[in-house]
A and B are shown apart, each in its own frame.
Chain A
Amino acid sequence: MRLSKVISLLAALVLSSAAALADAPRRVVSLNLCTDQLAMLLAAPDQLKSVSYIARDPRASAMPEEAAHYPINYGGAEEVYLLNPDLVLAGAYTARATVNMLRRLGIPVYIMRPALTLDEVSIRITEMGAALGREEAAAALRSSFETELAALRITDGPRPRAAIYNANGWTPGENSLPSQVLKAAGFTNVATEAGFAYGGSMPLELLVMAEPDIIISAAAYDGHSRAEDILTHPALRALKGAVAGEQVGDNHWICGTPHVLDAVRNLSAARRALLEEAN
């Protein structure tokens, strides 16, 4: 290869990456718990200007300490506009009125769909990387996530039947991230057998009749709610006395981020304990 060609190739490379840098948004504001976390994982220093207030709630967020370093917002169109963002990240369920208002004001809004499978977690990482102009960071994060997941994934051996049971009797069905995490950790989801495709409220009666091997719940919040009363119902307590119980907080699998690996890890350990006990 002649030197001049190498030089022109190098020059082209430099120019194109400079162009990519120029294109990358510089003032990013995130309105949604899940975009908060992916953006915190991927954004360049000083690129992310604000995350939602929920990102600091350790009950919902897997990254509350990181979120403490960012100013928080409450997702109102007015406060977001005053932050003068050149990209706003929102979730599919973020208030439509806010998103539409911001778009009318000429601010680009990137809407991230929720990840319903572990493969979609990888896809969301790449998509977020592209939106932030951080393709390389995204590729690195994606490959480490996929390697770790492949090492953790349990594909053979017995599959105990697990039920995820939360406030209001809510249980995630087959097409949901928690259910896919269960599967990766070597469990079968009872809700899938009961025909819940996306999730719904499973009456306590049906849970008791399904006789799961393990029940997975989140810890109750402070204060009282009738929605959580069901988690201390004597029938559920009796059932939990007979079968194993495991606490997995919502923060681990509410969002499709590499933090779902923690949930896979915890649940695999629970499965090992369950199988050892059975032997």
Chain B
Amino acid sequence: MRLFLILATLVTVLFAVSLTIGPAETGGLQSLAALLTGSDGPLPMVMREIRLPRALLAALIGGGLGMAGAALQGYLRNPLAEPGLIGVSGSAAFGAVLALQAGLTATATLGLPLAALLGAVVGVFLVMGLAGARGGSLTLILAGIAISALAGALTSLVLNLSPNPFAANDIVFWMMGSLADRSMTHLWLALPFIVIGAGLLASTARGLDALTLGEDAAETLGLSLSRLRLLVVLGTAAIVGGATAVAGSIGFVGLVVPHILRPFVGAQPSRLLWASALGGAALLLMADISVRVILPDRDLKLGVVTALIGAPLFLHLIFKTRRELP
């Protein structure tokens, strides 16, 4: 409970800070007042149409990715599992890019997140099929690298073939992710997918706890492993699909957050799920604040910051895993 309060306070504070940061240098309190009560002039529009969706998306996507990381790690019982690292985000980005360039998004409003979801589902199944549900860390990471590389190459290919001269520059966005100039439209696209995905993952909480006893013990407790697997796959794919469709692939959130919070929840997967959701929201809000503080005039990609935090931790985890191997 105390952890919950601390994390919730952190998210609230970061959310408020995120709302007050922007190139139009307006006073913090004045900005928040314009957001809540303003009616005339440009400032309420800036707050409601530009800064609010950005802050909301950071919290939503960060929360979703944190939770997806916790669920994947719980299900695979592998601390290296993370949607970005195992190629799910990359596959989702490929799905989204295909839908955008094929013009599918103009005919069907939900075409963009649905295509990203489909890409993510294919990615998860591929990686689990390649590594095997009980595969070791090494096979999982290798399969993830292969799928990431393939999805990245296909994404770049499609963008280079686009008739739009700006499309090739979008490669960076799809690989590293950004929340710059996102709008409420994007929030409404991502929200249902992330909420449904979070619901699916929340329903796996007891199953993941049971799984810590080992698969045989879990099955004697009446746990259906195939059902659990389906829930984790679909929940992760829905979250990653919704998030990637509007913000590109943002890596390492699902790796860092569960790792930091695991000791505080007694390594219990069910508690780690919601703690990681809050922690992920805080981390992504922090990352999005720092990209705007470090380089206010340029669109520094979110994935740069999350990778700078996450990659050293990833190296540390690899080192630890290597020591545990015979």
Name A residues whose Cβ lies closer than 8 Å to a Cβ of B: 167-169, 200-201, 203-206, 208-211, 221-230, 233-235, 238-239
Contact = CB atoms under 8 A, between A and B. Distances in A.
B167 A223 contact: yes
Nearest to B49: A235
Interface string B89-104: 0000000000011010
B87 to A, nearest CB: 22
Contacts of B49: 208, 233-235, 238
Nearest to B185: A234
A55 B15 CA distance: 49
A120 B301 CA distance: 38
Given A233-B181, A235-B183, A203 B163 contact: no
Contact size class for B? Answer: 20 to 34
Interface string B154-186: 000000001111110110010000000101110
Contacts of B46: 205, 208-209, 235
Contacts of A227: 166, 169-170
Given A229-B181, A230-B181, A235-B50, A222 B163 contact: yes
A228 B101 CA distance: 13
Given A204-B181, A205-B51, A226-B166, 13 more contacts: A203-B23, A205-B22, A209-B24, A211-B42, A221-B165, A223-B163, A223-B164, A224-B167, A225-B165, A225-B166, A226-B170, A228-B164, A235-B46
A221 B181 contact: no
Contact of A208 (B42, B163, B173, B297): B42
A14 to B, nearest CB: 50
Contacts of B185: 234
A230 B165 CA distance: 15
A235 B49 CA distance: 6
Contacts, number: 86
Contact of B170 (A204, A205, A225): A225
B104 to A, nearest CB: 10
B43 interface: yes
Contacts of B173: 226
B105 interface: yes
A201 B299 CA distance: 10
A131 B167 CA distance: 37
Given A208-B45, A233-B49, A238-B45, A224 B164 contact: yes
Interface of B: 22-24, 42-43, 45-46, 49-51, 100-101, 103, 105, 162-167, 169-170, 173, 181, 183-185, 297-299
Contacts of A168: 166
15 contacts: A201-B297, A205-B22, A205-B46, A205-B51, A206-B24, A210-B42, A221-B163, A221-B164, A223-B100, A224-B100, A224-B103, A227-B170, A233-B50, A233-B183, A235-B46
A44 to B, nearest CB: 33
Contacts of A209: 24, 42-43, 46
CB-based closest 9 A-B pairs: A223-B164, A225-B166, A235-B49, A227-B166, A224-B100, A203-B23, A223-B162, A205-B24, A221-B164
Contacts of B183: 233-235
B191 to A, nearest CB: 16
A201 B297 CA distance: 8
A167 B50 contact: no
Contacts of A224: 100-101, 103, 105, 162, 164, 167
Contact of A235 (B23, B45, B167): B45
Contacts of B298: 201
A57 B295 CA distance: 35
Nearest to A239: B45
Contact of B162 (A203, A206, A225, A235): A225
A61 to B, nearest CB: 13
B288 to A, nearest CB: 15
Nearest to B53: A234
Contacts of B184: 234
Contacts of B24: 203, 205-206, 208-209
